A and B are shown apart, each in its own frame.
Chain A
Amino acid sequence: MEIVGAWIAVGLTLFMFSFLYKDNPFYKVGENLYVGITIGYFVIQLWYKTWIDKVWDVLTGQAHDRFVILIPVLIGALLLTRFVPKIAWMSRWAFAFVIGYGAGLAIPATLTTSVVIQAQATAKPLVTMPDRSPGAAKATENAKAAYDKAKEGAAKEDEKIRAARYRYEQSRSVSEYTFLTAYRDFTTIVIFVGVFCVLFYFFFSIEHRGPVRAFSRVGILFLMIYFGASYGNTVMGRLSLLYGRVLDLKDYSRQMYGFATPVILVLMIAVLAALHVKNKGKDEGHAA
């Protein structure tokens, strides 16, 4: 079974990669199988995780109000009236339920996560005052002692000493105003300025001229960093997937899998070359 699975996985992977050459029958096979298999997968998931767990088990249970679950089933079934044009308008009730629920849920969820929490994280003190309490001083002393102990007997600075030093610096940055505290304050100021200038860039009630233009320009620079970082992350995400596929192809090219990768690759290239020659002859015939 493992070898069959390897051949199927390699075949489908190479079918999909063949699109890098051009749209071809192998890619179309992979693409259409992808659609069918995905639908099949979700049908099974919906059947067991929604229909059985949330409807059937409730209906066959002992709860006195178990038949209430038939209401959403009926509402959902109304969606299928889309296939009968004369009564298709009944599906609006189901759409109204879904849209209404989504809209109702979006208001508190968006307000909390995207406005209140984000605003709280932005509106922080721009300068940190050192914590002069005895507790903070004691914590720094302990971290210093641990750092000194780690240094004892070590010939050169290693990872253990470095970790102890970081902990000491972290602790010291709370009780005193250190480089690390200044770095944190700098980060807070950058975030505050960035949010302010980006919002200013999208503020169109006044013309962006003079000093206002300066804020807007800074906002653009922050947006450029945002776009650049998003692009870099997207490419890295795709590359990690590519890395996984290439590793699988490499693994499945071993003898224990019957040289699946080279065999399928050679066969595909042969078929694509044959198709190319055949279509070339056809094209020349059309041109003549």
Chain B
Amino acid sequence: MVFLKRQLPLLICFVIGTVTALQYYVPTNFSAEMSEGLSNWYIIVSMFAALLGFVSVGMVHTKKIQRQEPGWAYSTLVILGFLAMVIVGFVSGGKETTPDGRPSSYGWLYNCTLVPLQATMFAILGFYVASAAFRSFRAKSFDAGVLLATAVIVLLGNVPFTNQVWAGWLGIHDVAGVKIEMTDIVSWLIGTPNAAARRGVTFGVALGAIATSLKIIFGIERAYLGGGD
């Protein structure tokens, strides 16, 4: 039983991990087919993982409604929203547009519910990021000043008004034939010093990810097995 509970999962992880990693370095037709097959298997298994999460959320809200816990009425909205989308989705055959290019009922529901909800949720974060920055950004040191100056240049450089001032009013277009507009300065900042720092960080993250992957494949890191037997 210990073999089935603890050793078999480690063996599955080792075999699948090794085969997946090796197929990249052995580019034959067989390995390409196997890679595609494994990728499809992964997508199918992931579908069940998503289902596990959805069922969990459903159970939490159903229990809340059954027990009439505080805020249970809001839980009915989760169920209603889910049912509305699923029923309309099946009726439309999962297609967001009709053959003549117009939005189907599923596409319509998607456009007038999910799109505004999602966009507004992230737009709200803009307010909080800006207010947090206003409270915490203080150019108390040279380093903090560099951070602040970069943020301001990136923010202002993407605004059409700044470009109007730069090119229209100041008349700056190029320096010795090198095209320079406000957006080019932002592009240089993002593409040169920012890219250099990100590259340095990426090296560290990549080496850490490779080391962790190796630890998982060789069964040194086994937190995914969870506790218990």
Contact = CB atoms under 8 A, between A and B. Distances in A.
B199 A108 contact: no
B217 A228 contact: no
Interface stretch (A124-132, A217-225, A264-272, A276-284): A217-225
Given A13-B116, A29-B74, A79-B49, A104 B217 contact: yes
Contact of A114 (B116, B119, B121, B206): B206
Interface of A is mostly: helix
A265 to B, nearest CB: 14
Contacts, number: 411
Given A40-B85, A221-B146, A103 B178 contact: no
Nearest to A233: B154
B154 A232 contact: yes
A84 interface: no
B119 A96 contact: no
B85 A36 contact: yes
Of B40, B51, B150, B195, most A-chain CB atoms within 10 Å? B195
B123 A242 contact: yes
Given A32-B74, A103-B17, A235-B126, A16 B117 contact: yes
A103 B217 contact: yes
Contact of B45 (A16, A29, A40, A98): A98
The 10 closest A-B pairs by CB, nearest first: A194-B196, A40-B85, A36-B81, A232-B154, A104-B20, A198-B200, A228-B150, A238-B126, A76-B48, A44-B89
Given A89-B5, A187-B192, A242-B126, 15 more contacts: A8-B113, A9-B116, A37-B113, A100-B17, A162-B173, A195-B203, A221-B143, A225-B150, A226-B198, A228-B146, A232-B150, A232-B151, A235-B129, A238-B122, A241-B123
Interface of A: 1, 4-6, 8-10, 12-13, 16-17, 19-20, 28-52, 54-55, 69, 71-73, 75-77, 79-80, 82-83, 89, 92-111, 114-115, 118-119, 121-122, 162, 165-166, 168-169, 172, 178-180, 183, 187, 190-195, 197-199, 201-202, 219-239, 241-242, 244-245, 248
